[in-house]
């Protein structure tokens, strides 16, 4: 289960507030369209208003909240077309990470990817969405780290939460099971430094997700 909003410590207050509020939005604890008030959030988190306002400003940049001057701030409604646009960019970033990182992957990196995929598969079978998404992030983080491109990583970190929100809304176990095999292929490609195979497999993973988002777009339209 995703941890509920709870008081945080006094270290890196803005970053902690950002992580807690973002997680609450992605999980649906703060649902789409809900009005958020910085004072109320600050009270729930045990913080002053200043770090919460800073966190909300960052979340607005990520597209998770939107503010109307002299009015209110609310959690951004789910807009499938906008999420799909973000997913297209994130797919390109992960393909770049595979191209830059697969040839540099170590045996420990491959072992980390395989272990993450085992956790992913177990979580999918158990219907544990939070654990599945966390394991998926851990697996793909290996290539992001190996790519060593801070701009690439920053782009992925900024756009992924909005995608995760829609994924959570329409998670399908069948799609998750299909991803297990693709993750295995990605790890195999990294084990043999087959960059082209790693890029192609990464593209296939994200194309499958984009196909689901397009179906959501059609339903919403």
What are 69-79's pLDDT values in tens digits?
777 899 999 88
- Given 28, 47, 75, the domain boundary residue is 75
CA geometry: angle at 183 spanning 181 and 185, to 5°? 70
CA distance 149 to 151: 6
Give, in order, the Cα–Cα distances in Å from 133 to each of 119, 164, 169. 10, 8, 13
**Is residue 2 situated within a structural domain?**
no
CA distance 136 to 183: 9
- Mean pLDDT calculated for residue range 113-127: 95
Of the listed ranges 68-82, 128-142, 157-171, 204-218, the one predicted with least confidence: 204-218
- Given 75, 104, 119, the domain boundary residue is 75
CA distance 51 to 69: 19
Residues paired with 35 in a beta bridge: 74
Q: What is the mean pLDDT of the chain?
A: 88
Q: E strand or H helix at 65, and its extent?
A: strand 65-67
* Amino acid 170: pLDDT: 65
Q: Are 97 and 149 in contact (CB under 8 A)?
A: yes
Q: Are 130 and 167 in contact (CB under 8 A)?
A: no
Q: Is pLDDT at 219 greater than 50 in this prediction?
A: no
- Given 75, 99, 118, the domain boundary residue is 75
Counted domains in the chain = 2
Q: Are 75 and 34 in contact (CB under 8 A)?
A: yes
* Amino acid 221: pLDDT: 43
Q: Are 141 and 190 in contact (CB under 8 A)?
A: no
* Amino acid 192: pLDDT: 97
Percentage of the chain lying above the pLDDT 70 cut: 89
Same domain, 67 and 89: no
* Residue range(s) defining the domain that contains residue 39: 13-75
Give, in order, the Cα–Cα distances in Å from 180 to each of 91, 106, 114, 185, 199. 18, 21, 10, 9, 17
């Amino acid at each position: 289960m995703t941890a509920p909003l709870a008081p945080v410590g006094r270290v890196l207050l803005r970053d902690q507030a950002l992580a807690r509020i973002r997680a609450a939005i992605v999980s649906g604890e703060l649902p789409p369209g809900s009005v958020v008030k910085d004072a109320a959030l600050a009270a729930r988190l045990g913080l002053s208003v200043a770090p919460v306002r800073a966190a909300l400003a960052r979340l607005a940049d990520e597209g998770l909240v939107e503010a109307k001057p002299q009015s209110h701030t609310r959690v951004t409604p789910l807009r499938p077309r906008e999420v799909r646009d973000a997913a297209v960019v994130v797919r390109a970033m992960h393909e770049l990470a595979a191209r830059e990182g697969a040839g540099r992957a170590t045996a420990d990196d491959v072992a980390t990817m395989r272990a993450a995929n085992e956790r992913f598969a177990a979580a999918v079978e158990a219907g544990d969405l939070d654990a599945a998404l966390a394991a998926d992030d851990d697996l793909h983080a290996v290539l992001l780290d190996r790519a060593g491109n801070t701009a690439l990583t920053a782009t992925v970190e900024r756009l992924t939460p909005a995608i995760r929100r829609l994924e959570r809304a329409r998670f399908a176990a069948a799609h998750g099971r299909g991803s297990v095999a693709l993750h295995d292929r990605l790890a195999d490609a990294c084990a043999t430094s087959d960059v082209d195979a790693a890029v192609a497999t990464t593209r296939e993973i994200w194309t499958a997700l984009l196909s689901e988002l397009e179906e959501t777009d059609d339903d919403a339209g």
